[in-house]
Amino acid sequence: MSNDKVITAEQLTKRFGHFTAVDHISFDVHKGEIFGFLGANGAGKTTAMRMLCGLSMPTSGKATVAGFDVYKETEKIKRNIGYMSQKFSLYDDLTVKENMKFYGGIYGMSDKFIKEKTGYILNHLHLESEGDKLVKSLPLGWKQKLAFSVAIFHEPGIVFLDEPTGGVDPVTRREFWNMIYQASDNGITIFVTTHYMDEAEYCNRVSIMVDGRIDALDTPAQLKKTYEAKSMDEVFLKLARKATRIEI
């Protein structure tokens, strides 16, 4: 079990002046796992995620992503991860195909690879006829699915999803999670933050951050047992109530 860890964090800490945004967090994420990263606003989720993506230098502690060190090997990390945020990552004024060509391009993929992959994705999502349409003309749900496809376009080992389903209707969210399961079945590790507690139930394991620390980390079933709660919602509220930090 220990040799399939794709993300490891040990006492990982980030301070901004006197403010400790992330306070000595430790966890491992395994290959192909869907790892839910929960926490109220301001709990430090985004900062932790930025450190793992190589966007922000940790103050102290250790962490590796895809086997690379977050201090020294951020370039290699960036080549091996995908990222999708709540804000849309596709360009509205580019067509679907142009978007894919662009993202493939910045990851240094070859023209041939990009062409094949684009064909495969459009076929898979049943969007063949939309390939040459501008992204702005597509419905929100499709954009979201495309954005996820683009995030794993370069076939990364790990994909970070920062509240990927914000502002989407429940049906689309369900479909979106089906895509996540598929990616996970293909061996891609999913690191996802979310505000929706029903989504937390879909994760293999869930960590809950409170005031910069990880207060709980287990499977959803085990967490509900430990906190004697009927749903993840209850678990989350029990933990989040302990927070002393003001929302930032």
Partner 1 sequence: MKHNSPFSIFNFQFWAFVKKEFFHIWRDKRTMFILLGMPVVQIVIFGFALTNEVKNSQIAVLDNAKDIASASFIAELDASRYFEIEKNLYSYNEIEAEFKKGKIKLAVVIPQHFGEDLQHFNKAQVQLVADASDPNTANQLTNYATAVIMDYQKRITNDRKLPYTIHTEIRNLYNPQLKGAYNFVPGVMAMVLLLVCTMMTAITIVKEKEMGTMEIMLVSPMKPQMVVIAKAIPYLVLSAVNISSILLLSRFVLEVPINGSLLLLVFESILFTLVSLSLGLLISSGAESQQTAMFISLIGMFLPTIMLSGFMFPIENMPLPLRVISNIVPAKWYYAIVKSVMIKGIGLHAIWKETLILTGMMLFFLTLAIKKFKIRLA
Among 83, 176, 191, 202, binds partner 1 (CB under 8 A): 83
At its nearest, how many Å lie between partner 1 and the CB of residue 153? 11
97 binding partner 1? (CB under 8 A): no
Give dist(CA 160, CA 96) in Å, integer.
22
Give dist(CA 116, CA 58) in Å, integer.
38
At its nearest, how many Å lie between partner 1 and the CB of residue 108? 5
142 binding partner 1? (CB under 8 A): no
Give dist(CA 125, CA 232) in Å, integer.
31
Phi, psi dihedral angles at 171 (to 5 degrees): -65, -45
Letters for 22-51 (x = contact with partner 1 by CB under 8 A, - = none) are ------------------------------
71 binding partner 1? (CB under 8 A): no
Q: Which helix (H) or strand (E) holds 243?
A: none
Among 91, 142, 196, 227, binds partner 1 (CB under 8 A): 91
Please measure the distance between the N-terminal and C-terminal CA atoms of the chain and give it in whole angstroms.
38
Give dist(CA 97, CA 101) in Å, integer.
6
At its nearest, how many Å lie between partner 1 and the CB of residue 82? 8
168 binding partner 1? (CB under 8 A): no
Residues 102-141 that bind partner 1 (CB under 8 A): 102-110, 134
140-175 in b/e form (b: 16+ CB < 10 A) is eebbbbbbbbbbbbbebbbbbbbbbbeebeeebbee
Total binding residues for partner 1 by CB under 8 A? 33
Q: Which residues here bind partner 1, judged by CB under 8 A?
A: 53-57, 75, 78-79, 81, 83-89, 91, 93-94, 98, 101-110, 134, 154, 160
